[in-house]
Chain A
C-alpha cells in the first residue's frame, strides 16, 4: 500500500513538471544531474562505439557513429523515427546480425575489447550486454518465476540460490510486491507495464554489466512508464544503461547524457552528444535545438 501511495505522489510531481514551460526540460535534466552527483560511485563497465556503420542489404542506415558510454551512466538516444537509433542500439550487443542481409562496420568496445573481434563467443557478449525490447515479450509458456530465471537455463548458468535471485531481480525491477504471491501464475496475465518490468527482471537475472533499452515505455501508460523510470534510476547505480526514447521528457528525467540522432534522407548520423542538461538547455548544433524545442521532428 505504501508503495502505491508513493507512486501516486511521484506521479503528481511528474505531471506538474510536464505542465510547465518547455524550457523546464533542462531544469528536469539539471535536477537529475544534481541527484546523480550526490549518488554513489559509478560501477559497472563502460561501452564504447567507434565509427559504427550499419547497412540493411544495400541501404546505408547508420553512418560513422562514435559514442562513449561511461561506466554507471544512463545515456539517452533521441531523434526522429528512422534516424537509426534502434539500429545503433542493436549493434551494441550484436542483435543487428539476426536480421537477414545486414552488415556493419566499426568497433564496439566492452572493457576495451572489441565485441566484433573474430573468434569471440557471441553468447558471452550478449550475456554481459542485456537488452529490453520495445514490446514486452515475456515467454508465454512460462510462469512469472520461470520467466525471471529463464536466463539461467537459456545461458546455462549455475546459481546456488534461486529464490534469492528471483526476489532480488524482481525487487530491482520494481515488481516484487506486486507478484510475490503469484510467481506460479502465467506471465500473460500481467498488465503491459508489469510485463515490461518482468522483462527487465529477466534481463537482470543473468547479471549484465550493460543494459540496452529500446523504447521500453513506448507501449505503456504514464503510470507504468513512471515505475520503469524509477527502476532505471535504481539500476543506474550499478550498471551502464543506454536507452532509446521518443519521449524527450523521459530522456531529461532519466539520463545523464543524451545523444541526438538525425537522418537528412541519407544514412542516420549522430549529430551531437553531451550532458543531458546541456543538450536541452544550450545545444551546440542548430538541428538539435530545433528538435528539442519541438520545431521539427
Chain B
C-alpha cells in the first residue's frame, strides 16, 4: 500500500484521437472498396480484399502525413505490407482448416474411427465401416520413420556441429540436396532398389524407409540449428573438467538442446505424415488390420483419402474429407504430446 495515489498511465499509448483516426481510415477504406466493387466490373472477395488494402493505404497516408510528414508514408506502407502478407497466409491456413473441419465432420461417427473397411466399401452409405486400420497403419509408419530417422538425423547433425570432420562440407551439401528430393522419387527409389531386386514385397517397413528418406534431412537441418544455439561456453565448461568430447556432448550439449531436438522430430513428422505418393509403391493399400510391419500391404490415412477422392461418389468423397480431418487430429495430438513431454523439466 503506497501512501501517494499516483495512477499508472501509458503516455505512449495511442490517444483517443489516434484511435478515432485509425477507425475512421479503416471505415473509409472499407466503404471505398464496397463502392468501387458496386460501381465497376470488379467482383468477388479477392477484389474487396485488394481494394480495401489499397484504399486503406491511401487514406491512412493522408492522416500519417499530417502527423509525421512524408517519411511516415514509407513507414506506414511497410507496416501495411507486412500485415497484408500475414493476413493472406493466415487466410490460407484458416480456409484449409475450415474446409477440412466443415466437410470432414459430416462423415464422422463412432464406426469411422473404431472399425475397418473389410466388410464395407467406399461407396456404402456413411456410417458403415471405418478407417481404424488406416489410423493404425499411419501411426506404425510414422513410428518406423521416427525410429530410423531421428537417431540418424541427430547423429548427422552432431557430426556436422560437434565433430566438424573432413567430410562435413560434403555431408552438409548432400543433406541439402536430399531435402529437395520429391516424395514420389523416394518411393520409386525404395521400389526399384528393394522390391524389384529382393524377395521383399510392399510392407509398412519399406514405407517407413521411403518416408525416412524424406524425414532425415528435415530432422538433420533443424537439429543442426538448435545444436548450434547451445553456447560454446557450456562445451568448454564440460571439456575443462576433464570430460571427453563424447561425454560433453552426451551430458551437456544434447540435454541443453533437448526441447529443440523434439521440435526437430515434430517438424520431421509433419513433413511425412500426409505423404501419399511414396506409399503407393511401397505400402500398397489394404482394407483391414495388418499388425506385421514387415509383411503385407497396409492401410494408411493418405491412401484412404486418395482412394476416396478417386471414387468420385458423394459417399467416397465424404469419407476422404473425414479421413483428412482424422489425420489432422492425429498429427495435432502427436504435436501436443511431444511438446508437453519436451517442456517437462527433469525434476520439478
Q: Hey, which chain B residues are within 8 Å of A150, CB to CB? A: 238, 241, 251-252
- The chain B residue sitting closest to A121, CB to CB, is B242
In chain A, positions 100-153 with a C-beta closer than 8 Å to chain B are 123-128, 130-131, 133, 135, 137, 139-143, 150-151, 153
Q: A159 on the interface (CB 8 Å rule)?
A: no
Known interface pairs A154-B238, A184-B348, A203-B241; A137-B247 also in contact (CB < 8 Å): no
Q: Hey, which chain A residues are within 8 Å of B348, CB to CB? A: 184
Which residue in B233, B234, B243, B346 is a CB contact (below 8 Å) of A155?
A: B243
Q: A206 on the interface (CB 8 Å rule)?
A: yes
Question: Sorted from nearest, which 9 A-B pairs have the closest CB atoms?
Answer: A127-B242, A154-B243, A141-B255, A155-B242, A137-B233, A131-B240, A151-B241, A126-B242, A123-B242
By secondary structure, the A interface counts as mixed
Q: How far is A127 from B65 in the complex, measured between Cα atoms in Å?
A: 67
By secondary structure, the B interface counts as helix
Task: Name the interface size band of chain B.
Answer: 20 to 34
In chain A, positions 193-208 with a C-beta closer than 8 Å to chain B are 199, 202-203, 206
Q: How far is A140 from B252 in the complex, measured between Cα atoms in Å?
A: 8
Instruction: Map CB proximity to A onto B170-198 as digits: 1 under 8 Å, 0 otherwise.
Output: 00000000000000000000000000000
Q: Hey, which chain A residues are within 8 Å of B240, CB to CB? A: 93, 95, 126, 130-131, 133, 203
Q: A296 on the interface (CB 8 Å rule)?
A: no
Q: How far is A142 from B247 in the complex, measured between Cα atoms in Å?
A: 15
Q: B282 on the interface (CB 8 Å rule)?
A: no
Which residue in A98, A139, A153 is a CB contact (below 8 Å) of B234?
A: A139
CB distance from B170 to the nearest CB of A (A): 18
Q: B147 on the interface (CB 8 Å rule)?
A: no
A residues near B (Cβ < 8 Å) are 93, 95, 98, 123-128, 130-131, 133, 135, 137, 139-143, 150-151, 153-156, 184, 186, 199, 202-203, 206
- The chain A residue sitting closest to B235, CB to CB, is A98
Which residue in A98, A137, A151 is a CB contact (below 8 Å) of B231?
A: A137
Q: Hey, which chain B residues are within 8 Å of A143, CB to CB? A: 346-347
A135 touches B233 (CB 8 A): yes
- Residue pairs across A and B with Cβ atoms less than 8 A apart, 29 shown, are A123-B242, A123-B243, A126-B239, A126-B241, A127-B242, A131-B236, A131-B240, A133-B236, A133-B237, A135-B233, A137-B237, A139-B234, A139-B255, A140-B234, A141-B252, A141-B256, A141-B346, A143-B347, A150-B238, A150-B251, A150-B252, A153-B251, A154-B247, A155-B241, A155-B242, A155-B243, A155-B247, A156-B247, A202-B237
Known interface pairs A137-B233, A184-B347; A123-B256 also in contact (CB < 8 Å): no
Instruction: Map CB proximity to A onto B308-348 as digits: 1 under 8 Å, 0 otherwise.
Output: 00000000000000000000000000000000000001111
A124 touches B242 (CB 8 A): yes
Q: How far is A131 from B243 in the complex, measured between Cα atoms in Å?
A: 13
Q: B258 on the interface (CB 8 Å rule)?
A: yes
Q: Hey, which chain A residues are within 8 Å of B248, CB to CB? A: 154
Q: Hey, which chain A residues are within 8 Å of B241, CB to CB? A: 126-127, 130, 150-151, 154-155, 202-203, 206
Q: B244 on the interface (CB 8 Å rule)?
A: yes
Give the total number of A-B pairs whose CB atoms are below 8 A apart: 81
CB distance from A153 to the nearest CB of B (A): 6
Instruction: Map CB proximity to A onto B201-234 as digits: 1 under 8 Å, 0 otherwise.
Output: 0000000000000000000000000000001011
- The chain B residue sitting closest to A206, CB to CB, is B241
- The chain B residue sitting closest to A155, CB to CB, is B242
Q: Hey, which chain B residues are within 8 Å of A142, CB to CB? A: 255
- The chain B residue sitting closest to A99, CB to CB, is B232
A98 touches B239 (CB 8 A): yes
A151 touches B347 (CB 8 A): no
- The chain B residue sitting closest to A124, CB to CB, is B242
Q: Hey, which chain A residues are within 8 Å of B231, CB to CB? A: 137
- The chain B residue sitting closest to A93, CB to CB, is B240
Q: Hey, which chain A residues are within 8 Å of B244, CB to CB? A: 123
CB distance from B11 to the nearest CB of A (A): 32
Q: How far is A154 from B238 in the complex, measured between Cα atoms in Å?
A: 7
Q: How far is A143 from B251 in the complex, measured between Cα atoms in Å?
A: 13
Q: Hey, which chain B residues are within 8 Å of A133, CB to CB? A: 233, 236-237, 240
Which residue in A124, A131, A139, A186 is a CB contact (below 8 Å) of B256?
A: A139
CB distance from A89 to the nearest CB of B (A): 11
Q: Which of B237, B244, B252 has the largest count of A CB atoms less than 10 A from its CB?
A: B237
- The chain B residue sitting closest to A136, CB to CB, is B233
B256 touches A140 (CB 8 A): yes
- The chain A residue sitting closest to B242, CB to CB, is A127
Q: How far is A86 from B242 in the complex, measured between Cα atoms in Å?
A: 20
B347 touches A154 (CB 8 A): no
Q: How far is A186 from B256 in the complex, measured between Cα atoms in Å?
A: 13
- The chain B residue sitting closest to A137, CB to CB, is B233
Q: How far is A105 from B239 in the complex, measured between Cα atoms in Å?
A: 22
Q: Hey, which chain B residues are within 8 Å of A130, CB to CB? A: 240-241
Q: Hey, which chain A residues are within 8 Å of B238, CB to CB? A: 139, 150, 154
- The chain B residue sitting closest to A131, CB to CB, is B240
A141 touches B236 (CB 8 A): no
Q: Hey, which chain B residues are within 8 Å of A126, CB to CB? A: 239-242
Q: How far is A137 from B239 in the complex, measured between Cα atoms in Å?
A: 13
Which residue in A95, A140, A199, A203 is a CB contact (below 8 Å) of B239?
A: A95
Q: Hey, which chain B residues are within 8 Å of A93, CB to CB? A: 240
Q: How far is A141 from B243 in the complex, measured between Cα atoms in Å?
A: 17
Q: How far is A184 from B244 in the complex, measured between Cα atoms in Å?
A: 26
